[in-house]
Amino acid sequence: MKRGSYRARAVVLNSLDYGESDRILTFYTLEQGKLSGIAKGARRSRKRFVGNLDPLSHIDLMFFHNGSTDFVRVEDAKLVDAFAPLKEDIERLADACYLLELTSEMTREGIVLPAVYHTLVAFLKMLEASPNEELLRFFEIRLLSICGYLPHLGGCVACRQHAGEERLYFSSERGGLVCRRCSSGIMGLIPVSPGTAGLLSMAARLEAGKLERLKPGAAFLEESERFLYDFIKFQLGKELKTRRFMAKLKSAWA
């Protein structure tokens, strides 16, 4: 980026209080991809954009870039959508925060992927309209696909045989499905039915608006949650904070 002022459509991924009155922020923007920046005096009420920089906020962002560092200075933030209904329920908020954390962890500054922005906004809207766990799995596979980490779900990664009726396994280390014959000696295999693998393979290619065409089977949620998160952890090399929080919520509700 050259030195100057810019405008971007953005979702606030992360916000951290800094010093007396500043905030350090991470955004995913349509025009510039992931951005980090500082909002000077953001916590003083006289600033117009106070409150618009909370995580989840979909904003029209004005920022200044000095042409050298990767850090931008936030000049203004007009609210497009606060996703207020998502903040009214702790479970929905946790789901939404998971989408934000996953987006932040899977993307890098300097690599502009407009599809990440569009997908994130579309999924937050869908989550707001009708929360369900399938959406989280579809978001994961879409994001993996857009960011270039899509696992091989069309058949066995070892012998290349196409997925048929037979039970399969998923290996995060191998980056995809493994058939029963090729499975011996591979550690950390997770059983996956061909139906679940096929559905996720389709979901990876579909735009957010067309996902409602997919009809997941009974085993889908349990199978997909287990192996997708295993794969995400393998790719990122760490656990996600929001997933730990969601697990705690689930056990508290159970």
Q: Is residue 179 part of the contact set for Zn ion (CB under 5 A)?
A: yes
Shortest reach from residue 191's CB to Zn ion, in Å: 15
> Which residue's CB is nearer to Zn ion, number 171 or number 242?
171
Q: Does 158 bind Zn ion (CB under 5 A)?
A: yes
Question: Applying CB under 5 A, what is the total number of residues that bind Zn ion?
Answer: 5
Taking a C-beta distance cutoff of 8 angstroms, is the pair 128, 86 a contact? yes
Q: Given candidates 182, 192, 197, 208, which one binds Zn ion under the rule CB under 5 A? A: 182
Which has the closest alpha carbon to 94: 63, 127, 65? 127
Nearer to Zn ion, 148 or 164 (CB): 164
> Which residue of 59, 96, 120, 156 would you call a contact of Zn ion, by CB under 5 A?
156
Work out how close the CB of 175 gets to Zn ion at its nearest, in angstroms, rounded to a whole number: 14
- The set of residues, in sequence order, having a beta carbon less than 8 Å from that of 164 and lying 6+ positions away, is 194
Query: Is 136 one of the binding residues for Zn ion (CB under 5 A)?
Result: no
Judged by CB under 5 A, which stretch of 18-26, 142-150, 173-181, 223-231 contacts Zn ion?
Answer: 173-181
- The one-letter code for the residue type at 250 is K
Q: How far apart are CA 104 and CA 196, in angstroms?
A: 26
Quote the CA–CA distance of 201 and 212 in Å, as a whole number: 15
Interface with Zn ion includes 186 (CB under 5 A)? no
C-alpha distances out from residue 215 to 44, 155, 200, Å: 49, 21, 11
Closer to Zn ion by CB, 182 or 197: give it.
182
Q: Which residues contact 117 (CB under 8 A, 6 or more apart)?
A: 9, 11, 28, 29, 30
Q: Which residues 6+ apart lie within 8 Å of 108 measured at CB?
A: 33, 34
**Cβ 27 to Zn ion shortest distance, Å:** 43
State which of positions 49-108 bind Zn ion (CB under 5 A): none
Which residues of this protein are in contact with Zn ion, per CB under 5 A?
156, 158-159, 179, 182
